[in-house]
Amino acid sequence: MPSFRSTFQCAIQKGTLAAAADVGPTFSQYSIIVEHVLHHTEIDRDDDVSCLHLESPVVPDPEDAASVTEEEGGSESESNREFASVTLPPPGLLQGYEYAAFKPNDRSLAGHIYIAPTQYEVKAALNDLALIIRPKRKTGPGYKDPDLDLWTRTRLEGMQSTFRMYTDPNSRTYGNWAASSLQAAVGMGRGPRCARCLRELCRGYLDNRKVLPVNPFGDWNESLLLDENLCNEINIFLLSIGNEISAKRLMDFLHQPDIKEKYGIQRNISIRTARRYLNALGYRYRATPKGQYVDGHERADVVFYRNTQFLPRWCRIWECMARWDENLTEIAPPGSGRRVVTWFHDESVFYAHDRRRKSWYHKDAPAKPYAKGEGASLMVADYVSQDFGWLASPDGKRSARRLFKPGKNWDGYFTNEDVREQANEAMDILLEYYPQFDHVFIYNNTTTHLKRADDALSARAMPKNIPKPGSNWGVQVTNRDQISGKPICNPDGSHQKIKIRMGDARLANGEPQCLYFPPGHPREGVFKGMAVILQEQGFGDMSKVRTQCKDFKCQPGATNCCCRRILYNEPDFMYVDSLLEILCRSRGFQVMFLPKFHCELNFIEQCWGRAKSVYRTYPESSREDQLEANMLMALESIPLPMMQKFANRSLRFMDAYCRGLNGKQVAWASRKYRGHRVLPESILEELGRAGIV
């Protein structure tokens, strides 16, 4: 390896070391500097010393030079004679050489020499810098916006230009560090000072890739949300107040003295700034988004009915139903029996003034008067299936759809008699046009659909003991006219009530059990009371058992805590068929009732939503005939493939409940696997990884 002294002297002799100062040093001063450097500096690397430079146009003090000559044991003239054979460049501008300000350090020399970086280091830094200025996309070809401000981008591009000038063999300043930075500065329309700044930035980036130019301007109006710790504290506060989030609450939180002291907040924010903070954190001021019902969705009795009665029946008929995959390709039923077609039933109300209110209006558009209230209403009740759509004959001339005006002063309300009448019409159509299928009607779990016969068994209001002499117990029902069937009203307008006998129960051996004393008994025709009824069924003496628990809210799992609970759990009291079930079974049709609060299982709800979305686009009108026409057009605008997509969504919920998932897990799985009619086998593992419990 050549010595630093010989290499440095050769570099001086060739004239490749120069200074960027306006006026160079004299010959004697230059010799003193060289001797000082040669005496106090040792370099153990073989880099090209033609790139060595001293930063800043400051020369050493003459006293330092004198001390150097004294340490060498000679005089200034002797030092000059030692370099008499060296040919120095003429006084003036010395190209490519810089003087650095002498700063105290650990070495005895008051100043130090910066060695130019190697080509390998600069090329590696150039590649890394290119990824900052033009970051690649995560997927696919091309680049994405680096999101750099003009101040930072200008300096990064200057650094990139310096690196390229230094490493490109075609550059005139190839291998010359200072000249490359100066050339880059000239390209930016700047001068030597900019070149020095570029070199400082480049050296910092070479030492640490995380050292980048930082824009010092505009800090006075930076958002407080740039502080990650404060941002996390705000998020925790917003979560703690639940649905009480408001801009004022956030503003008051940031005005607290302890928060201001902790995060160095100098002044208070306005309520408008607090609103912007809420928007930046992802909050929006809007109506509560509607999801599936939660008020009783996971109630114990609802879950019990869903898991023990509805889902087992559904799984049995599911094997005999046709299915449609994600591409709406029909899949034949896997079972070998008759194909089953399910018909979902529901009612919905359309209003005359229900229109889309949000639209694009010109900023100068005047206010438009609008009708007050929702206007006239029209209720529709219908059936729908994923096989045929709305229930109707193939030619569309016959339909089971029912339209009426709800309200006390109009057509009244959709009663159980109306439901049974509509079911009869639906069964007539299906038996005539689709007799090759087995049909199942599926209704919502409402009292209108579940109404039982007036004399049906019920332990709800039974007395425990035998009524006192001269009185009797019976079921109170509305007294109706035998010809018209309309309720008979009292003078005050209330319906007249009469008592009828409750139907017979059944003993454990299947024999009928009359709830009233038989003929010949001293209390003939009088109600026996729960104690006697239970004693006849084999429960023994019930005189010391209470009539019922308080408000009939027995302890969970209790079966014999009171007379009413014991009788309530008897099979003949528990499983009483509704009038609708009795009617449909008599004609060979099955009836199922959805679990309460499970509207997501009835895909006709999605059909109503789609129809109303179309209905709101029609011109608004208060005319009742126009209301009916628009509603029918909206209902017929739903194509069968769209209904099948709606049905697939409901089937995903069915499949999830069959796998034992709860409401929250089902909602997550249904969103994740949109378009699928069933969920994958690994759904439980995915729920565990996602933390959905």
> Which pLDDT score, from 0 to 100, does residue 51 have?
36
Q: Which of 609, 602, 607 is nearest to 642 (CA)?
A: 607
> Which pLDDT score, from 0 to 100, does residue 482 have?
83
Least-confidence region, from 89-98, 118-127, 585-594, 612-621: 89-98
Mean pLDDT of the chain: 80
The pTM of this model reads 0.60
User: 143-171 pLDDT, tens per residue?
Assistant: 999 888 899 999 999 999 999 999 999 99
**pLDDT confidence band for 43 (50 / 70 / 90):** very low
> Which pLDDT score, from 0 to 100, does residue 94 have?
37
What is the mean predicted confidence (pLDDT) over 338-354? Answer: 94
Q: Which of 178, 152, 150 is nearest to 165 (CA)?
A: 178
Q: Which residue has the higher pLDDT, 362 or 479?
A: 479
Q: At what angle do helices 150-167 and 192-207 cross, to 10 degrees?
A: 80
> Which pLDDT score, from 0 to 100, does residue 341 have?
96
pLDDT at 53 over 60: no
Q: What percent of the chain is predicted at pLDDT more than 70?
A: 77
> Which pLDDT score, from 0 to 100, does residue 688 have?
61
Least-confidence region, from 43-52, 253-262, 349-358, 630-639: 43-52
Pairing outcome for strands 389-390 and 377-385: antiparallel
pLDDT at 585 over 90: yes
Is residue 679 classed exposed, middle or buried when 0-12, 13-18 and 19+ CB atoms within 10 A define those classes? buried
pLDDT at 33 over 60: no
What is the mean predicted confidence (pLDDT) over 298-315? Answer: 90
Q: What's the CA angle centered on 138, arms 132 and 142, to 5 degrees?
A: 70
pLDDT at 61 over 70: no
User: 586-635 pLDDT, tens per residue?
Assistant: 999 999 999 998 888 999 999 999 999 999 999 888 889 999 999 999 99
Q: Which of 379, 398, 306, 392 is nearest to 343 (CA)?
A: 392
User: 540-580 pLDDT, tens per residue?
Assistant: 999 899 999 998 889 888 888 999 999 988 989 988 999 99
Q: Which residue has the higher pLDDT, 243 or 35?
A: 243
**pLDDT confidence band for 349 (50 / 70 / 90):** very high
502-507-508-511 Cα dihedral, nearest 10 degrees: -120
Cα 204 to Cα 210: distance, rounded to the nearest angstrom: 9
What is the mean predicted confidence (pLDDT) over 508-518? Answer: 92
Cα 55 to Cα 22: distance, rounded to the nearest angstrom: 14
What is the mean predicted confidence (pLDDT) over 500-508? Answer: 92
> Which pLDDT score, from 0 to 100, does residue 45 have?
35
